[in-house]
């Protein structure tokens, strides 16, 4: 099954007529294409892609696009088995504001609190407790319940930055469509 069959089944008018919706759909498509080169295709990807494109096509405001694509990527990483560990510090298990700032360790695939990251200075991406918590919740919710979560613009930017670094670390290449969406 080719994942781009999704576009033949539904017409997605907003994606064809609205530049930002098109940019968001391009990012979703590029992520699927890049990851599918690395790992065998999976029927769950097809369902996720349809969910992502349908969501992008039906946003009421452009601000909703960031959350759609971020949650899409979080779910995609889960399916491919690269779920980032966002449940608490890898070293001590804490997940509270007193231990901030938290960073995501690319090499270890999870969070480190201020105390635990002192000996490890490579590949640390800032990630606030608030953003990590929302992303962790998104990992555990089914796609039809993701609309319950609200990612603020600040948390959305932080999440997008984290996903940019994390996917570059995993794929060893840039995802070019990110620029079209985030710099538009």
Q: In this chain, which of 21, 24, 28, 113 binds Zn ion, going by CB under 5 A?
A: 113
* Chosen residue from 92, 96, 97, 145 binding Zn ion by CB under 5 A: 92
By C-beta, is 113 or 134 nearer to Zn ion?
113
Please give the structure tokens belonging to residue 87: 């449940």
CB of residue 161 to Zn ion, shortest distance in Å: 22
The stretch among 31-39, 48-56, 82-90, 171-179 that binds Zn ion (CB under 5 A) is: 82-90
DSSP three-state, residue 124: strand
Comparing C-alpha atoms, which of 137, 155, 158 is closest to residue 146? 137
Residue 141 CA to residue 128 CA, distance in Å, equals: 20
Part of the chain binding Zn ion (CB under 5 A), chosen from 20-28, 74-82, 111-119, 172-180: 111-119
**The one segment of 4-12, 84-92, 131-139, 142-150 that binds Zn ion by CB under 5 A:** 84-92
Residue 59's Cα: distance from chain center in Å?
A: 18
Length of the chain measured in residues: 184
The answer to the question of residue 111 lying near Zn ion (CB under 5 A) is no
Question: Using the rule CB under 5 A, is 116 a contact of Zn ion?
Answer: yes
CA 28 to chain centre: 10
What are the structure tokens assigned to 142, written together? 């089914």
Residues 121-150 contacting Zn ion, CB under 5 A:
none
Measure the CA dihedral 147/25/82/79, to 10°: 70
Per CB under 5 A, residues contacting Zn ion are 89, 91-92, 113, 116
């Amino acid at each position: 099954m080719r994942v781009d069959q999704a576009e033949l089944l539904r017409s997605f008018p907003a994606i064809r007529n609205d530049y930002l919706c098109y940019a968001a759909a391009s990012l979703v498509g590029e992520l699927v294409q890049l990851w599918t080169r690395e790992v065998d295709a999976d029927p769950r990807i097809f369902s996720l892609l349809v969910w992502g494109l349908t969501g992008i096509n039906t946003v009421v405001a452009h601000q909703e696009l960031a959350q759609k694509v971020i949650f899409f990527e979080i779910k995609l990483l889960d399916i491919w088995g690269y779920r980032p560990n966002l449940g608490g510090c890898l070293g001590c298990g804490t997940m509270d504001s007193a231990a901030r700032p938290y960073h995501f360790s690319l090499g270890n695939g999870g969070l480190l609190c201020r105390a635990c990251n002192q000996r490890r200075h490579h590949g640390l991406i800032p990630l606030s407790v608030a953003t990590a918590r929302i992303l962790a919740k998104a990992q555990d919710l089914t796609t039809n319940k993701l609309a319950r979560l609200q990612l603020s613009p600040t948390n959305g930017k932080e999440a997008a930055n984290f996903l940019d670094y994390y996917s570059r670390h995993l794929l060893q290449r840039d995802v070019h469509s990110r620029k079209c969406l985030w710099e538009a």
